[in-house]
Structure 1
Amino acid sequence: MKIKLIILAITATILSSCESHFDIYPETQVAESPALFKNEASLKTFTDGFYNNLDFNAIKDDKNSDNMEHITTPPAIRTSNYTMPTALGSGGWSWSELRNLNYFIQNVNLHTEDVALKNKNLAVAKFFRAWFYFKKVRAFGDVPWYSEPLKTSDEELLYKGRDPRTLVMDSVMQDLDFAIANLADVPSKNRVSKWTALALKSRIALFEGTFRKYHTEAKLPDAEKFIIAAKDAAKTLIDSKKYNLYNTGKAESDYATMFQLAASPTTEVILARSSSQNFIYYTPEFTSTSNGNYGATHSLISDYAKIDGSSYYKSNNGNIDQISYFDEFQNRDLRLKQSVVFPGYIRIGTSNIAVNDFAENRTGYQVTKRVGAPIEDQGSDNRDAILIRYAEVLLNYAEARAILGELNQADLDLTVNSLRSRAGITQKLTFPLQTDKLQLDRYKRTTDANVLEICRERRVELAFEGLRKDDLLRWNEGHLFRIEYTGIYIPAFNQLIDLDNDGKPDLYVIKSSDNAPANKVPGVQYFKLSAVNALSNGETGRLMPYKNPKKTFESWEYLNPIPIEELTLNKNLKQNEGWEQIK
């Protein structure tokens, strides 16, 4: 058996080095050793490798959304300063993962005789193939669909054009359905199960269904079919009662604690990259002075409800632009204080009260959700990276029901109200939902209060978990990548400001053209704006970390470009519309 496992490992390494257009396979391959695909241990060794494709860095992707703002050089989707990918396999147009998946699927079908063993392993591979292809469709729209590994003699297939998005996504749904039917029904946060596949199906089907519904210019059919599929998958998982919200009764800390535990709670976490891998550099993203100085936006902060459940916007009669930093945090949804630095904040692993560090972010709302102790400031941590959790499934279900016009009070109690209860909110939402002018002015795709309020809850609950960019893409709300993002309110330049109302000043904001005062007050941060920073009203207003003019977001920007060398090599591939103007 040792020899067989070594052969398998060597073969996988050889195959992974064969990089060419669509990763062509050599004519002779491991199929010459069919015994490898008849042994359960060998099959597990192969499928274990698929877990390396789980993208734990995806949880950082809120940096590419209206939840966060960057200083000086925001991401390209913010500035439209795109760089066209050139080399083969660049820009996300890489297919090595698919090659390994299809190779495995083909050989299991050919050589694994035990039907139960065959289907169990095929289910794992098809789960990962579905996720792989979803990410490709999300990025590029139409893509070539391949269900078998390619050989050097498959010239027609190698150089074919892209298959329709509709064909590919139907195939993705088929792979997920196979996975749901054949994966183990025992929950496991570090290995895929039936429940992981249902959760992923609810995410993917909701993305695809809402993309088709709101992107009418794409003229894609069957939007409702996918939204119903998302609803049904979520409800099946909910009804199984395999999961629940992590809740120890400590509303002031449970939400934050879930992301601080080395081993994330299996009550709520459906899929995570294991803490034992010690691989992710997350804390330095928000505590280092060299990682972009990302901070949360006032847009996000304004969406957190009052602790009594009422709209923060309505409770202030819509006058929220000049509310001080201290007052913004009073009597709010407790998830707010568990996500960003607040007045009286004490960082985990320390004992002293701290205020926002303006060297580490430039909005004044410093992210703390999942940020660890100071020991992690320069390196990786050993906590699970949570990729899918039950809260998202609840929100997928609620959004699908709202869009379909089926939402009712029982749905609200099952989903949104359970999330708000954990966050200490004292009053339930009641059906039909009421929204406010803030939401109606912000979003363009709908005026349906039920949909808007479910999506507001989604933004709050899932903040800084990497899903906000995808939400804006699928909702056709790309204009929100280009609006002005702001931070905390600054009453004036050259004035001592007490951020946490403890009687001692903490901050002094200086124009980019001015110098700091000669006699500095101990304990005060002297924050000098750069050339791209400003206050929203000139001499006063909210911090603007990036004031430069921004182009209107255009429909072609919802999809990514195909690398130039891929187009040169394969004349049947056509560039996504609009990208030909990028040089």
Structure 2
Amino acid sequence: MKLQTTYILALGLMTIGLTACKKDFLQRNPQTEITEGAFFQSPIDLETYSNGFYGQLGASYSDINSDNISNYNADGEVDIMLRGSISSSNIGGWDKKDWENLRKINFMLDHIGQVKGDPVLIKHFVGIARFFRANFYFEKIKKYHNVPWYGHVLSETDPDLYKGQDPRALVVDSVLSDLNYAVANIKDDSKTKAANTRVTKWAALALLSRFSLHEGTFRKYHDEIGLTGDYQRFLDAAVAASDKIMKEGGFTLVSTGNGALDYRSLFVSPSLATNKEMIMWADYNKELNVGNNTHTVLDYTWSLSRNLADTYLKKDGTPFTSTPGFNTKVYTEVFADRDPRMAETIINPGFRGASTIDEPYRIKPTLGGYNQIKFYPRDPALRLGWEMNYTGLPIFRYAEILLINAEAKAEKGNINQGDLDQTINLLRNRVQMPALTMSVALDPVLAAAYPNASGAVLLEIRRERRVETACEGFRFNDLNRWKCGNLFQDSQQGMYVPALGGLDVTGDGKPDIAILPSPDDESSIANIPAVERDKLSKYYLKDKTGKDQNFYLTNGTSGFIAFTRDRDQPRNFISPKYYYRPIPIGETVVNPQLKQVFGW
């Protein structure tokens, strides 16, 4: 989910004046009372104008469209696509609104020559604009593969107005050029009042690290784009950029010895201004009337998957899936002796702090049972309603940089124990988990999930990335760049249910909910005392008419919670087609030079 920026452009009316005619959506001037010639005169003008770019950055708090989600009661794009319901005739995007942000950025860059003042400050704001242009194109590359590169505002007679896509290699190198300029020219500004809520040199390095890792691994694993011979330099760039942050940025993990609470503080605190892990964060403030919607992570429309839950290691550092009987452990058992981050991500027995503060929270099997609590504001004063949650959200945090550094080195094949100790093991040490060693045993479950990954260490780095950044919006792109799209089609499941009847989900030894055949058959709870039976939250596999509800148990009257839609409409991932999205057919009619890719 996207953040709502706290930065309000002083020139609020400086929006892009676009008509409904698609031919000129990239070349029309902004409609404003202030003419461009009179406005772009000083670095202050550049700062005012560039403030309007910040709404383009996103702070995510969900993993919708990935295998971290068991059930989503809305229309996720990937889910719809895998059921065969997306085509170039019904997909959105690519229209004038989709390209508006790029035009705003290029409009400023086209007028830099008329600005007078401190050249260092001018270059700083040019770097800001090029940072946002790089981020814009990063998103486009991930979605469409090949896109046209526009480095300036187009006029009506510009020969590029109706050009087709430029090669991915050209666009990617242009993004790298923008990011390298941004890194070289954006000021640190980490000591200013708005520290780390603005784009700094370190945020530019963070984006360079993220982009380079993505492009390097995408090229390595996706032979269909024909660039497998040119991926090493991107991994080198990811290592160099993350190394620089690690050595010179002054950032560190929040680690006060409180383990799980240190981890939790990154996602539920009212402010992250003094948090040394935040390279950049989004400030939501009640006084400014700017809030987020993080309360919706709990029981709103999605739940987390059994697959994610099983990925968390045991407290002794061994895989949970290597434990005898792991796949028949009930909800109140699966959290015992696990990585503390699990209970800070997935709701656990006895959880309090939601609307039922005086009673433990009761999970809902209709979503799978593994409800998300990461990002859920614990303090009711920070959780006041729709778009009225006032917790700071990370955009770039130091933990991601450590993960990037480790993964890039592992993909290059030259990682060593010292590298692990300076990256992965700092993350594990924060939550008192055993260190990862170069001699770690191969986990067959991970090996089966990622058959194209070489070696146990790389597999464990992928595990660490998944659990450390769960629900932060990375998982979808990770599976894409690793070419593991088959995992999107797997029908994700929820918790294990040993039998129909009452279930203890709060850990007090008494049944709290009941899963029953139908409203007409409650025989499986007949032996529960009436006083307790009346308090049960009841869920049925079939309604009064005999129709299946949205979930079922994999063994009929026992097993994992699964979902009837997945059973009745199986997903199917088509490779390489589904790693990309089609251009809307209307746009290809307007511009026949645009070509669909990989079967679209």
Normalising by structure 2, report the TM-score: 0.87
What is the one-letter code of the residue matched to 2:591?
Answer: N
Residue 578 (structure 1) shift: 2.3
Which of 280, 284, 299 aligns to 2:292? It is 280
Residue 132 of structure 1: aligned partner: 136
Which of 247, 259, 269 aligns to 2:278? It is 269
In the alignment, does 2:229 pair up with 1:228? no
In the alignment, does 2:590 pair up with 1:569? yes
Residue 23 of structure 1: aligned partner: 25
Taking the TM superposition and a 5 Å limit, the aligned residue runs for 1:385-404 are 385-404=393-412
Residue 77 of structure 1: aligned partner: 78
2:270·2:390 contact (CA, 8 Å) conserved in 1? yes
Residue 380 (structure 1) shift: 2.7
Which of 240, 245, 248 aligns to 1:237? It is 245
1:534·1:547 contact (CA, 8 Å) conserved in 2? no
Taking the TM superposition and a 5 Å limit, the aligned residue runs for 1:451-466 are 451-466=458-473
What is the one-letter code of the residue matched to 2:245?
Answer: L
Which of 356, 363, 371 aligns to 1:366? It is 371
1:402·1:450 contact (CA, 8 Å) conserved in 2? yes
In the alignment, does 2:480 pair up with 1:473? yes
Change (3 A) 1:75 1:89: closer
Change (3 A) 1:113 1:439: same
Residue 428 (structure 1) shift: 1.6
Taking the TM superposition and a 5 Å limit, the aligned residue runs for 1:111-260 are 111-112=115-116, 114-154=118-158, 156-187=159-190, 188-220=195-227, 221-260=229-268
1:284·1:377 contact (CA, 8 Å) conserved in 2? no
What is the one-letter code of the residue matched to 1:67?
Answer: N
Residue 67 of structure 2: aligned partner: 66
Normalising by structure 1, report the TM-score: 0.90
Which of 308, 326, 333 aligns to 1:327? It is 333
What is the one-letter code of the residue matched to 2:559?
Answer: G
2:406·2:415 contact (CA, 8 Å) conserved in 1? yes
Change (3 A) 1:281 1:490: same
SS at match of 1:272: strand
Change (3 A) 1:464 1:88: closer
Residue 3 of structure 1: aligned partner: none
Residue 20 (structure 1) shift: 3.4
SS at match of 1:321: helix
Moved more, 551-560 or 68-77: 68-77
* Equivalent-residue separation in structure 1 for 2:496 and 2:344 (angstroms): 21
Q: Deviations over 1:360-396 (max 9, x none)?
A: x611111111112464454431122212111011000
1:363·1:488 contact (CA, 8 Å) conserved in 2? yes
2:266·2:394 contact (CA, 8 Å) conserved in 1? no
Moved more, 130-139 or 544-553: 544-553
Change (3 A) 1:516 1:567: farther
Which of 564, 568, 572 aligns to 1:552? It is 572
Residue 541 (structure 1) shift: 0.8
SS at match of 1:381: coil
Residue 102 of structure 1: aligned partner: 106
Q: Which runs of 5+ in 2 are unaligned?
A: 1-8, 542-547
* Equivalent-residue separation in structure 1 for 2:447 and 2:187 (angstroms): 44
SS at match of 2:347: coil
What is the one-letter code of the residue matched to 1:240?
Answer: E
Count of aligned pairs between the two proteins: 561
* Equivalent-residue separation in structure 2 for 1:508 and 1:395 (angstroms): 41
Moved more, 196-205 or 102-111: 102-111
Q: Deviations over 1:79-128 (max 9, x none)?
A: 52433465997367811001010110110134345421221110000000
In the alignment, does 2:450 pair up with 1:438? no
1:205·1:227 contact (CA, 8 Å) conserved in 2? yes
* Equivalent-residue separation in structure 2 for 1:19 and 1:512 (angstroms): 56
SS at match of 1:253: helix
Change (3 A) 1:52 1:152: same
Residue 300 of structure 1: aligned partner: 308
2:71·2:492 contact (CA, 8 Å) conserved in 1? no
What is the one-letter code of the residue matched to 1:371?
Answer: Y
Q: Deviations over 1:208-239 (max 9, x none)?
A: 11111011122124111111111111111001
Change (3 A) 1:390 1:21: farther
In the alignment, does 2:429 pair up with 1:429? no
Moved more, 26-35 or 99-108: 26-35
Residue 6 of structure 2: aligned partner: none
